[in-house]
A = this chain, B = another copy of it.
């Protein structure tokens, strides 16, 4: 196998962009209202449907590229994944609605925090990386008082992917809407919105689809949108403007946006999604999974502690505790002396853990080389590590 040369960029987003994506971003200006941009939007919509694992649509304007034969529509948001999640939450719930949000990491907690601004929340907080107690969730759903259950599907802060099929099954059994923050899962690991009967989901460009940061998307069902409309008509909706789904919906069918969109980001993301199509969605899922398994098996074998529940470790990010005596200086040295970037931890785990991304277009060669450099750097920091054949873990 050829050795990876140059930098290893193993960060769980923003991930490295393809040269084609970068070049598309540098295209000269076009207007936001003309036919050229509507071509871009149609292409992007079609690419988004592919990444969301939905029925295909034509990448051609005036063909309702945002919809297809299933019950979902996709919509671009000129903002981060957080903006996309807010668009789902703020439009879908009235201030008096009650939602259930189980969490086991920072981004789930952000979903709960966001919900708290716009409605009432039962927030069930688990230890970072620990799987949800499905029995406890079921007891909650049995109460019949929740408008929806929301999860951060893939928790990058602790490296765990939630058991979405099981949670979906429960939501359906108790007739509760299921909403997914898929910002770091969609495009990188198996997501089946239709099979799981997910009412709406959000994704961010700069994560699994290797697009630029600052642009995101949502997918939602007719039921979701009708509920947003009823709430608005009844006059007890949350106040919002930029992220108003009703304004965006009116323009969506015409491949347009209500406010000036991030034109160059849309062009870049569209090209990144073309790259994804060429690889194939399932091939990408497999590649991410193989890379993550390799990292997880390697570091576990070497005695490192991984905080995520072993049965639900993420395919797009691996969280690894530092051994005794190592802190974030290791990460600085890794970057400066080994040209390899991974990311630190957040909140209470800051300085105690590092995280390795395996999303986007990272190759096996890059991951293997990156792992070798990590081990070298640990040795330099006084950690005793036996000689291992890193390649054999992948």
Q: Which residues of A contact B (CB under 8 A)?
A: 9, 11, 13-17, 22-23, 25-33, 78-83, 86, 90, 95, 113-114, 117-118, 204, 206, 212-215, 238-243, 259-265, 268, 341, 343
Contacts and interface: CB of A to CB of B under 8 A. Distances in A.
A98 B83 CA distance: 28
Contacts of A22: 26-28
A28 B79 CA distance: 20
Contact of A213 (B11, B264, B268, B341): B264
Contacts of A214: 78, 214-215, 260-265
Contacts of A30: 14
A261 to B, nearest CB: 6
Given A82-B259, A212-B262, A242-B243, A11 B26 contact: no
Contact of A215 (B29, B90, B117, B262): B262
Given A212-B262, A214-B263, A265-B265, 13 more contacts: A9-B29, A14-B30, A14-B263, A16-B29, A22-B28, A33-B343, A80-B259, A81-B259, A81-B260, A83-B242, A95-B239, A204-B260, A214-B264
**Secondary structure type dominating chain A contacts:** loop
A8 to B, nearest CB: 13
Identify the 4 closest CB pairs spanning chains A and B, nearest first: A214-B262, A26-B26, A82-B259, A22-B26
A283 to B, nearest CB: 22
B90 A83 contact: no
Contacts of A26: 22-23, 25-26
B90 A239 contact: yes
A242 B33 CA distance: 25
Interface centre among A11, A33, A242 (most CB of B within 10 A): A242
A242 B118 contact: no
Number of copies: 2
B118 A82 contact: no
A30 B28 CA distance: 23
25 contacts: A11-B31, A14-B29, A14-B30, A14-B260, A17-B29, A23-B26, A26-B26, A29-B206, A31-B341, A78-B79, A78-B214, A79-B242, A80-B260, A80-B261, A81-B260, A82-B241, A117-B241, A204-B260, A206-B260, A213-B260, A213-B263, A213-B264, A214-B214, A239-B239, A242-B243
Interface centre among A11, A79, A81, A95 (most CB of B within 10 A): A79
A343 B30 CA distance: 12
A337 to B, nearest CB: 16
Contacts of A268: 264
Contacts of A31: 11, 14, 341, 343
Contacts of A117: 239-241
Given A9-B29, A31-B343, A260 B212 contact: no
Contacts of A241: 82, 86, 90, 113-114, 117-118
Nearest to A212: B264
Contacts of A17: 28-29
A152 to B, nearest CB: 14
Contacts of A242: 79-80, 82-83, 86, 243
Contacts of A80: 78, 242, 259-262
Contact of A263 (B79, B204, B212, B260): B212
A275 B357 CA distance: 36
A14 to B, nearest CB: 5
Nearest to A244: B117
B23 A83 contact: no
A238 B242 CA distance: 14
